[in-house]
């Protein structure tokens, strides 16, 4: 994996980052790296996430799911970091086992999914560190009832990924369910390289050891200089551009297999860095589709965006047939991959010509190893950005406020946040 900062350096000086500025920033990167390493060595909350390539035990994950022979589908019941990391892996990789995610409580979507599945050959993975997450537990209760209605013993088709205490841990103990521990010190959005993200991939037959190997390769590249680490290069430049007014970051992979990765990145970046009036708002885009929708804004709209372009050097390809249609003969003899590459490079050049910064991230290929590299690098980049911005990367007080408000509205306790919802001003136009 490599990160190309050329289109950050080549943009107009008022909106880009000069090489001299990067050299100055590199001293702060060294100090941030030292803090990160001390946090990792002490196993501090959050910093422990960057130890997962070495601390996660893939054999334990495989053992926990080994009782489920040849499932047709796996349904992960979780929300946010309890689902998006796993979804990034399974959506990017091909498998004979279909992977689905109940990560919302939209009743129509839940009912539609359950009606479409053969529940007798479906494995359900319920993921919640606390075992009390309202959305996750509500969806699980619905799934359990659907299994009972279908004549399926839910306890034979379910395993849980949870903490040492809580409702899910009690449920696993009572019904002798297979279970995996959520690692201590790892916030949900940083948990893809743990039991939380890898169990569904293991059930789908993917090489989770290779995911961890790819992550370990990027872990080994962390250093006291951004010029020696792709992860730190991306984190440092994103921070530097935000300081110069680039308050939005459009994550734009040129591979449909990485579309869910953009969703995962959006949570990682937003929930970790959006504090104290600071942060960089993540935008989700897909190349080449969004060249025909969002690129107009990125190139000619407000000068407040970094565009991150991601592609793989190797992939399957499809030839474009020869044609005698006027104006299209130039396509014959090339391939869809050639066209996608041309679209990628045209977007990059278009942004540079307009003085808009972009960063290119290239993987060798979208496979288990490459995904491990990409996911770890983005996590390390996020942690570095947080250190440079002096924000607490690993807390999410605004999210917790909303959780308390929702629980209070449902009668789950007396929370002042729920009172604030009731006091909301209204101006209704009908």
Q: 201 with 358: CB under 8 angstroms?
A: no
Indicate the SS3 state at residue 227: helix
Query: Is 255:311 a contact under the CB 8 Å cutoff?
Result: yes
- On the 0-12 / 13-18 / 19+ scale of CB atoms within 10 A, 425 is exposed
Q: How far is it, in rounded angstroms, from Cα 210 to Cα 374?
A: 13
Instruction: Please confirm, yes or no, whether 403 is among the known catalytic residues.
Output: yes
Which residue from 118, 80, 122, 121 is spatially nearest to 102, judged by alpha carbons?
Answer: 80
Q: Which of 174, 292, 316, 424 is catalytic?
A: 292
Catalytic position from the list 37, 45, 259, 403: 403
Phi, psi of 262 (to 5 degrees): -65, -35
Instruction: Pick the closest to residue 278 from 394, 141, 391 (CA basis).
Output: 391
Examine the residue annotation and report whether 15 is marked as an active-site residue of this protein: no
Q: Which helix (H) or strand (E) holds 270?
A: helix 259-273
Q: Which helix (H) or strand (E) holds 75?
A: strand 73-77
- Measured CA to CA, the distance from residue 152 to residue 150 in angstroms comes to 6
Q: Are 211 and 371 in contact (CB under 8 A)?
A: yes
Of 314, 315, 253, 256, which is closest to residue 284 (Cα–Cα)? Answer: 253
> Among the options 209, 219, 263, 271, which is catalytic?
271
Distance CA 289, CA 40 (A): 40
| DSSP-derived secondary structure for 133-175 | -HHHHHHHHHHHHHHHHTT--GGGSEEEEE-SSSHHHHHHHHH
For residue 167 the two structure tokens come to 């409702």
- Cα–Cα distance, 38 to 183 (Å, whole number): 19
How would you class 83 by CB atoms within 10 Å of its CB: exposed for 0-12, middle for 13-18, buried for 19 or more? Answer: buried
Q: What are the CA-CA distances from residue 140 to residues 97, 179, 318 (Å)?
A: 20, 15, 41
Burial of 358 (0-12, 13-18, 19+ CB in 10 A): buried
- List the catalytic residues: 271, 292, 403
């Amino acid at each position: 994996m490599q990160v190309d900062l050329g289109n950050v350096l080549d943009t107009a000086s008022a909106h880009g980052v000069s090489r001299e500025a990067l050299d100055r920033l590199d001293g702060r990167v060294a100090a941030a790296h030292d803090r990160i390493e001390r946090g990792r060595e002490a196993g501090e909350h959050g910093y422990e996430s960057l130890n997962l390539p070495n601390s996660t035990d893939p054999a334990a994950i495989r053992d926990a799911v080994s009782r489920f022979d040849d499932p047709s589908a796996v349904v992960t019941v979780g929300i946010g970091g309890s689902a998006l990391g796993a979804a990034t892996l399974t959506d990017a990789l091909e498998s004979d086992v279909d992977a689905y995610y109940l990560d919302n409580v939209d009743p129509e979507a839940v009912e539609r999914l359950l009606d479409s599945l053969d529940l007798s050959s479906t494995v359900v993975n319920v993921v919640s560190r606390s075992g009390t997450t309202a959305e996750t537990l509500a969806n699980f209760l619905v799934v359990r009832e659907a299994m009972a209605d279908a004549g399926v013993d839910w306890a034979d088709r379910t395993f849980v990924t949870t903490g040492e205490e809580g409702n899910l841990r009690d449920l696993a103990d009572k019904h002798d369910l297979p279970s995996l521990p959520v690692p201590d010190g790892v916030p949900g959005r940083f948990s893809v390289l743990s039991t939380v993200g890898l169990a569904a991939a293991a059930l789908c037959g993917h090489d989770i050891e290779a995911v961890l190997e790819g992550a370990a390769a990027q872990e080994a590249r962390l250093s006291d200089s951004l010029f020696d680490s792709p992860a730190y290069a991306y984190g440092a430049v994103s921070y530097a551009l935000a300081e110069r007014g680039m308050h939005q970051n459009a994550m734009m992979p040129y591979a449909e297999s990485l579309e869910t990765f953009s969703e995962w990145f959006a949570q990682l970046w937003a929930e970790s860095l959006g504090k104290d009036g600071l942060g960089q708002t993540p935008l989700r885009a897909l190349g080449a589709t969004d060249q025909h929708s969002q690129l107009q804004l990125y190139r000619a709209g407000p000068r407040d965006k970094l565009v991150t372009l991601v592609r793989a050097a190797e992939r399957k390809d499809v030839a474009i047939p020869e044609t005698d249609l006027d104006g299209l003969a130039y396509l014959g003899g090339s391939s869809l991959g050639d066209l996608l590459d041309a679209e990628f490079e045209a977007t990059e050049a278009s942004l540079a010509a307009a003085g808009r910064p972009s960063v290119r991230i290239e993987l060798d290929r979208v496979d288990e190893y490459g995904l491990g590299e990409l996911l770890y690098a983005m996590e390390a980049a996020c942690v570095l950005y947080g250190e440079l911005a002096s924000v607490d990367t690993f807390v999410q007080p605004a999210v917790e406020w909303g959780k308390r408000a929702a629980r209070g509205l449902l009668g789950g306790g007396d929370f002042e946040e729920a009172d604030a919802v009731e006091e909301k001003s209204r101006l209704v136009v009908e």
